[in-house]
A and B are shown apart, each in its own frame.
Chain A
């Protein structure tokens, strides 16, 4: 019977390894063309040398919002699309790849089915007059003042431009620097020159042969030319080729996507373990918990590999933009969770790892727009400071989020405790109240829209309170439903451990956010002689330091206790999100009425959800008039002799 604690984790590990290995297992080549080999050829785009495969995937991500294309109702791979486009096959014009989300932009294409989101170049061409008329109206407007329609219209124009540039071989730069003094350059000019030019570059000749063979549907010739060109590059630029090959491997592996899947698997195991812990003997629960921890360790390894691979491919420190900061925050939180697991061995740390790992990778996925490994602006190009300052600050963010997430669990347990106690009816009453308030907020929002009241402040306050009450209903409602289950563990011990975790994590967050902020100051002083400039990003960082200091001092001064720390740590989530994202939103047209950037909406939703949890954490149930102690006090007051 005890053996289950051994083989269950083993099965889980094997399963996760299978999930990881599946995408990189050799596939049968679809069709006769060796597109894999074509994908490994290096090109230069956005200032970085990368395999054509990456350009294909990134371009499709931008144009189509996914890594495949649709040709004649058939899904084709990014490389197939790329090969078709650069060899200028005419059928690419009917591939449905241009994603249009805005209904008004879509309506420029005449009557189209509501479901259709992606359109072909031909479809756009047919309505080019209407589109160009609209574009002419937008040109000259400051992008900051774009309405949402104008923004989407310009995006479409950019995507078409991008498609055209690829088709005309202007981008990516496909000709490598094979002789000294040369640089990467586009294929187009030399491609024309090849015919009749006495001295076209070797690379241009190869590319011409490769593309001609593809166009004339001669797979044998195509494969041979690609192989010869590869051999040439292998001997001329071995380092570049190695990196390109590795990047294709990385693209196929998709470590962060696989990581997302595995974190979910781990969380499910954890949830079952939690339920199983209530059933009879604990062996199954232990086995499940171990299985969860093993899956997380495997996932953490792949997560780490992904980060390290990016450092190798890019040559920069792991955090260079919002995307990579999300990946790094997730990675560090998982590490912290595993550390807590090692400390307490109760499954809590791993559960947190799984949840945060999953959420941050999802956030990262949504932040990715094209190549996530851009080159760094000259001012930021200093590996030493990037490494120390950015990593320290990001660790600070991670710890702050970790404390916040643990606090959410803490609050949930506290509310659960109330739900299974005599206060259950009152919790239910707050739920009803919040539901009603949500309805009122929705009604008010409709009124505002009907009367076209554009006040940004009023609208955001309304949205915020609306989201808060909505999330209150969701959060407390979920806990309430859970409390209906026969599963009624005594959580006071767990709450104590959670309290310690929160406190320790906040102390850790204070240390790293302070050190990180300071290192940023030193970097700034080295770069432009101003240690502290009070600019938005710096202010965001110092807010986190202050928030941590506030929580700790309030705790030391006895102003708050465990619950107070938890509630404030949830507020810390808002502060961190502001510092991480909010300061980047300042440049966006917050003040242009009728237009709110998607990110701002998400920010409001997030703030609302955190405020809701804070409210739930502050439920002052024993202060209510109907509370027994209050009733007793009232009674005593009524019975006491009147003194005037």
Chain B
């Protein structure tokens, strides 16, 4: 290797930089853990760990300081490592463990970046006897406007969460694909239902004049924190619908309806045509469908501690002609990989009541990377420290 290149690389390869990066990583991870008291886990992941930089709160009077994000630290670690091996490369018994360890670590970091970029997670909620051919993304919602008039299908137009959020406080969404204009009066990224007898806190009147909102009121709620592992945000919005200046009514659309209303869709009639509106989780339609045949769950005798739960399902995929039964339970997912390019794995995640199962559907093309990387690092560390120990014990016993 050229001497001048080595010389130029020396500062990048320095162990001081390594230690500095460790310190920064520890601070980032620590603060990123504390932050999960207040905000959701995936929000923390996106701001702290899957980012180049961020404004980090220091815990006093809401002051924030700029700080390096996970991608920056990880990237610098990889550069630092590669540079170090270029500068100090030597292949001998003493270094083989270190080289293996570091190669595995680079893979691990790259794998996490790939996961951050390409992995997708959905949920599938199925009631016993029901067949479902879509999964939902529980981290984002959309306002769906459904035209059920065609015989064999529904025509659906959706407004994504980001647009709803941007039009908060009274802006109007107008689009030719929409049958009417949507004015977002209030957008709540999390909300809770007001018990019927309670008056709204500030004495305001119920904004909703039509639909479910006439009887059900919601108030904004703080975001569900990452520490509360089972909680989910339930966004809501008060919207006023109109067509060419004609008021079609003010509605409440809310994820909370899922838990308290029998029918979550509300009818809106415009020009003698009826549409159904619903705030729902973003859907991803699958080529296959899953039918829940039976859901079982046991608790330990005399306790509320779940002992086990399992879903007996039937998977049908017309595109491949597969039609087979499967049992999904804890630590035993259904790995469905009809094509090498498109594998999805279904995990038993949770349940609602006694008859509704919640499956977690994951597509992660790089899922194998951490397995390989970790095996390499473990072998590397074991080799390195094993040799060290043998030598040390030998010397001490002499």
> In the complex the two chains form, is B306's CB within 8 Å of A547's CB?
no
Binary interface encoding of chain A residues 170-200 relative to chain B, with 1 for a CB under 8 A from any of its CBs, else 0: 0111000000000110100000000000000
Which listed residue, A379, A521, A534, touches B374 by the CB 8 Å rule? A521
Give the chain A neighbours of B14 by CB distance below 8 A: 557
A385 (CB) vs chain B CBs: closest residue:
B331
Residues A375 and B362 in contact, CB atoms below 8 Å apart: no
Contact flags B36-47 to A (C-beta < 8 A → 1, else 0): 110001001100
Are A527 and B331 in touch, CB under 8 angstroms? yes
Contact of A521 among B26, B370, B389 (CB under 8 A): B370
A-B CB pair tally, cutoff 8 Å: 172
Is B309 an interface residue, CB under 8 A from the partner?
yes
Q: Mark B289-309, 1 if CB is under 8 A from A, else 0.
A: 000000001011111011111
| Contacting pair B227 A47 (CB below 8 A) | no
In the assembly, what is the distance between CA of A183 and CA of B121, in Å? 39
B181 interface residue per 8 A CB criterion: no
Stretch from B125-133, B261-269, B377-385 contacting the other chain: B377-385
Q: How far is it, in angstroms, between the C-alpha of A536 and the C-alpha of B393 when the chains are bound?
A: 37
Q: Mark B332-362, 1 if CB is under 8 A from A, else 0.
A: 0100000000000101010000000000101
CB distance from B324 to the nearest CB of A (A): 20
Q: How far is the CA of A507 from the CA of B44 in the complex (A)?
A: 31
> Does A66 count as interface, using CB distance less than 8 angstroms?
no
Complex CA distance for A151 and B302, rounded to whole angstroms:
25
Please tell me if B65 contacts chain A, counting CB pairs below 8 Å: no
* B156 interface contact, C-beta 8 A: no
Q: Which chain B residues lie closer than 8 Å to A458 at the CB level?
A: 60
**Candidates B33, B41, B371; contact of A522 at CB < 8 Å:** B371
- The answer to whether A483 has its CB under 8 Å from any CB of chain B is no
- From residue 604 to 624 of chain A, which have CB atoms closer than 8 A to chain B? none
- A104 in contact (CB, < 8 A): no
Assess whether A543 is interfacial by the CB under 8 Å rule.
yes
Q: Is B82 an interface residue (CB 8 A)?
A: no
- Contact of A535 with B by CB under 8 A: yes
Q: Which residues of A contact B309 (CB under 8 A)?
A: 378
CA of A546 to CA of B26, assembled, Å? 7
The stretch of B15-23, B249-257, B274-282 in contact with A is B15-23
Q: Which residues of A contact B397 (CB under 8 A)?
A: 343
When A504-B389, A529-B121, A587-B227 are in contact, do A44 and B301 touch as well, CB less than 8 Å?
Answer: yes
B23 touches which of A378, A457, A550, A583 (Cβ 8 Å): A550
Contact call B302/A553, Cβ cutoff below 8 A: no
Interface residue from B34, B302, B330, B377 paired with A44 (Cβ < 8 Å): B302
- Give complex CA distance A382, B305 in Å: 15
Q: Are B392 and A536 in contact (CB under 8 A)?
A: no
Interface of chain A residues 490 through 543 with chain B (CB within 8 A): 500, 504, 507-508, 510-511, 514-515, 518, 521-523, 525-536, 539-540, 542-543
| Closest chain B CB from A58 CB (angstroms) | 14
Rounded to whole angstroms, the CA-CA distance of A375 and B304 in the bound complex is 11
List A contacts of B300 (CB < 8 A): 46-48, 375
Whether a CB of chain A sits under 8 angstroms from the CB of B169 is: no
For chain B, residues 200 to 244, give those with C-beta under 8 angstroms from any C-beta of chain A. 226-229
> Which A residue's beta carbon lies closest to that of B392?
A504
A443 to chain B, nearest CB (A): 22
Q: Is A377 on the interface with B (CB-CB < 8 A)?
A: yes
Convert B360-373 into 0s and 1s, putting 1 for each residue whose CB lies closer than 8 angstroms to a CB of A.
10101001001100
| A170 to B, closest residue via Cβ | B302
How long is the Cα–Cα vector from A186 to B302 in the complex, in angstroms?
9
Contact (Cβ within 8 A) A377 B305: yes
**Cα distance, A382 to B348, chains bound together (Å):** 14
Picked from A530, A535, A543, A546, the residue with its CB within 8 Å of the CB of B229 is A535
A184 contact from B121, B301, B370, B377, Cβ within 8 A: B301
Residue A359 CB within 8 A of the other chain:
no
Establish whether residues B374 and A457, one from each chain, have CB atoms under 8 Å apart when the complex forms.
no
A543 to B29, CA, bound (A): 7
Given A515-B378, A518-B378, decide whether A378 and B307 contact each other with a Cβ distance below 8 A: yes
Task: Please tell me if B180 contacts chain A, counting CB pairs below 8 Å.
Answer: no
CA distance A381 to B308 in the complex (A): 8
Any A CB within 8 A of the CB of B198: no
B interface with A by C-beta (< 8 Å):
14-16, 18-19, 22-23, 25-26, 29-30, 32-34, 36-37, 41, 44-45, 48-49, 59-60, 111-112, 115, 121, 226-229, 297, 299-303, 305-309, 330-331, 333, 345, 347, 349, 360, 362, 364, 367, 370-371, 374, 377-378, 381-382, 385, 388-389, 392-393, 396-397
A-B contact pairs, 5 of them (CB 8 A): A44-B302, A458-B60, A511-B385, A521-B370, A546-B26
